[in-house]
Amino acid sequence: MTLPTSQSTGLIPVESAASAVSWGPVIAGAVAAASTSVVLLLVGSGLGLTMVSPWSGQSSSLATIGAAAAAFLIVVQWLSAGIGGYLTGRLRTRWAGLRTDEVFFRDTAHGFLAWGIGTLFVAGVLSSAVSSVINTGVQATATAAGTGVAAATAMTESTTENSGFSLDYFTDSLLRPAAATPPAEGNDERVTAEVGRILVNSATAGEMPQADRTYLAQVVATRTGLSQADAEARVDATLTAINDAKVAAQQAADDARQAASAAALVGALSLVIGAFISSAAAAFGGHQRDEEEDLIAVR
């Protein structure tokens, strides 16, 4: 049987029985990178909480918080990937009988593997946070892309004290008695509920039919003692306020969607940077290790 030979030298290539991957240094570097990431992320969370406050006017703007979070995420990747990759390169054993370019390739590959395993560790720990970000982006996109149905649903369900937007408020404003006129006797709950349904329908459709507008003006005039013209003016003002509130809710949803999208893109960019830094750090660490061994051999 004829064995394959090298065309240039005519020698039979010798295949090593040992694997080209030193898993011990790779896992050690991955553990170091993951641990560094977790510690730095906890520090970042603590610093981020100092930028927000329940008191009005004392929190940083959303753009400032987002920029700070993006910058800190990139710094986390730089540090953790650099530490993990450098340890991977320094801890591996020397590869004897290999050319310099092959040693460089293996070092960078080991750094990349360490980064990959460390990233999986961190992703497992922070899976709930990542899922929360994705869900926020999906919900915000659905709300912003809707025709107002989601906003109208939020209006009808907004009955708690913590809500800043309630349909009951607009209904009450329509049926509020005039200051110079005694309030109407009784409280017709059926009419009040009907008015609320008309407002929900107009908010969902984006406009109110003229028949509904006329009927509302008549109800308001009857219940408040206003003239027909004043009642129609109150109806128009209320519809404008509802539309402004719906637009503000859609704008807030769109802002949340953009923030979630930016966070995902910055996260991907920081991971790519981390992979490069880990590979370069591993090559640098491996080169230093070989140089130190050469100096010891010379001595």
Q: Cβ–Cβ contacts within 10 Å for residue 89, how many?
A: 28
Contact yes or no for 40/73 (Cβ under 8 A): no
Q: Where are the domains of the chain?
A: 23-146+257-298, 149-249
Look at residue 116 in the predicted model and tell me its pLDDT: 92
Residue 5 has pLDDT above 60, yes or no: no
Report CA torsion sign: 109, 112, 117, 118. positive
Residue 84 has pLDDT above 80, yes or no: yes
Please tell me whether residue 33 adopts helix, strand or coil conformation: helix
User: Ranked by mean pLDDT, which of 57-61, 195-199, 232-236, 256-260 comes out on top?
Assistant: 232-236
Residue 143 has pLDDT above 70, yes or no: no
Q: Cβ–Cβ contacts within 10 Å for residue 32, how many?
A: 20
Q: Taking residues 22-37, what's their average pLDDT?
A: 91
